[in-house]
Amino acid sequence: MSNYLYWSGLVANIALMLFVALCIWVWFIWPFVEAMSITRCFICASKTSGCKPTVKAIIRTLKYWYLDLLFGRGWTRISNRQFEWEGVGNWRIHSSKETQEVN
């Protein structure tokens, strides 16, 4: 009986550790990766429009998006006149020619 309790406890503790690791990944680490991707997209969009973002603006943007994405996001993509972001590494910058054609 004690052998059964030992293995049950071991399996339960491993399952609990995996669950905690998954929660940390989904709630804290992955939102940081997404916030970095959105920040990179903003930097590229700023450079395309002729602006040079400062370090303070970059850190502020990263902080804003990380806090917005913390514990999950309620949207699937970001789209505006400057860029379109659909996921990590899946974004594109709209050129000024595309903007002029739409207007």
- Joined together, the tokens standing for residue 61 give 């943007």
- Residue 1: per-residue pLDDT: 81
Residue of 78, 64, 70, 75 whose CA lies nearest to 30: 70
Beta partners for residue 84, in sequence order: 79, 92
Pair 29, 83: CB distance under 8 Å: no
Where are the domains positioned within the chain? 28-102
Residue of 66, 61, 64 whose CA lies nearest to 45: 61
Q: Each residue of 51-69: pLDDT tens digit?
A: 899 999 999 999 999 999 9
- Residue 69: per-residue pLDDT: 93
pTM score: 0.81
Q: Each residue of 24-42: pLDDT tens digit?
A: 999 999 999 999 999 999 9
Residue of 76, 69, 58, 59 whose CA lies nearest to 35: 69
Q: Each residue of 83-102: pLDDT tens digit?
A: 999 999 999 998 866 545 54
- Residue 72: per-residue pLDDT: 81
